[in-house]
Amino acid sequence: MKKNTLYRHGIALMLAGTAAAGLLSGCEKKNEKTAADAGQEASAAPLLRDGASIRLPSASPLRKAISVAIVTEQTIERSISVPGAIEADAARLIKVVPPVSGRIVQLNKRLGDSVKAGDALFSLDSADLASAYSDAGKASATLNLARRNLQRQKDLVDADIAARKDLEQAESDYTQAVSEADRAKARLSQLGASLGPGSGHLYQLRSPISGKVIELTGSQGGFWNDTNAPVMTVADLSTVWMAASIQEKDLPLVFIGQSAKISVNAFEGESIEGKVRYIGDVLDPDTRTVKVRIAIDNQSGRFKPGMFAKVVFSGQPHPAPAVPAAALVQNGFNTRVFVEKSPWVFEPRIVKTGAQMGNNIEILSGLKAGEKIVAKDGVLLND
């Protein structure tokens, strides 16, 4: 009986061992299958990330989509393109304002007429001028009387006939008369007139510069009583300014004597060359720009103040790495490229860009010539 019991226990242990061995074998096969499936899934993924690195497996379809190129060094000429407008040279433009009021009795020059320096522009019948002449005449007469009186008092004092105080009074009167006569002459000189034969009430204003009458607001026979408003404007437009506003960030790239190409909107397809003559000393606080002026020869008179144009300032040629525009990928506020560290292993890198020349863009920092980058469809690697 005891032997049968031991026999049955042995059989049970043998069966349990067999079952355990079978279970263990099944688990091992399951683990092997899971690992194989994981390997197949990894090889089927288009890309794998390991920290900052991105690897494309051999079966990845991205290998056919993206292209890799070497960063080359190119000669960069960073030009600046800005809008501009033609302006008259302020030093060659005069708004003719009469210093006296009066009636315009003659217009010697009309709108569009050529003017030479010293030419009569118009004449005024002016009571102010007549008053100035009258004051000057009175002051001159008073001065002559004071001079004679002073001389008479000196003679009387020398003869011990007149008192000393009378001489002192004559000297004071003479000094005042000289001062008043000088004031009256200065007033006439300011008006461009002088006391002499023919003095009267007709005031003739002459042009201080040569040029053309480009604006006329007065008319013959009209009364002009506003001594702050111009009757006409004379301008020499043989040379005009092309004025352009340069942004604050581009100021280091602009210099006196720099060449510029100007395309005036009115003359499509044409361009003229000019050189920077003036760079403003003050930054506009509203637009954060500085005014730059280029002198343009305008002997033909084609260029009219107020015309709009496009101005391209040439830059200093310098060597720098450049990449295709398609290689740049925007990521938030940063611009990135994907650099190949080893075959089909890439790493994103932030770069700073500069000038654009056709399809290529200058790289200011972040890349060196000779490095390999994703030149096309790098956005497929972007996260």
Shared-domain flag, residues 185 and 108: yes
How many separate domains does the chain show? 3
Return the axis-axis angle of helices 164-190 and 127-158, rounded to nearest 10°: 160
Shared-domain flag, residues 118 and 206: yes
Shared-domain flag, residues 87 and 111: no
Among residues 188, 205, 234, which one ends one of the domains? Answer: 234
Instruction: Please write the tens of the pLDDT for every residue from 240-272.
Output: 999 999 999 888 889 999 999 999 999 988 899
- Tell me which residue range forms the domain holding 273: 81-91+237-313
Residue 275 in any domain: the answer is yes
Q: Which phi-psi region, left, alpha or beta, contains residue 36 (left: φ > 0; alpha: ψ -120 to 50)? A: alpha
Quote the pLDDT of residue 77.
78
If you write DSSP's letter for every residue of 304-355 in order, what string do you get? Answer: -TT-EEEEEE----EEEEEEEGGG-EEETTEEEEEEEEETTEEEEEEEEEEE
CATH number at residue 339: 2.40.420.20
Q: Are the CB atoms for 71 and 89 separated by under 8 Å? A: no
Cross-strand bridge partners of residue 363: 353
| Structure-derived torsion over alpha carbons of residues 281, 287, 293, 297, reported in degrees to the nearest 10 | -160
Shared-domain flag, residues 170 and 270: no
Residue 36 in any domain: the answer is no
The 8-class DSSP code of residue 238 comes to: S
Residue 34 in any domain: the answer is no
Shared-domain flag, residues 184 and 305: no
Among residues 192, 215, 234, which one ends one of the domains? Answer: 234
Q: Are the CB atoms for 184 and 135 separated by under 8 Å? A: yes
Quote the pLDDT of residue 198.
52
Shared-domain flag, residues 107 and 216: yes
Residues of the chain scoring pLDDT < 50: 1-7, 9-42
Q: Which residue has the tokens 């009186």?
A: 149
Quote the pLDDT of residue 376.
87
SS3 content of the chain, % helix, strand, coil (to 5): 30, 35, 30
Shared-domain flag, residues 242 and 129: no
Q: Which pTM does this prediction carry?
A: 0.59
Quote the pLDDT of residue 46.
83
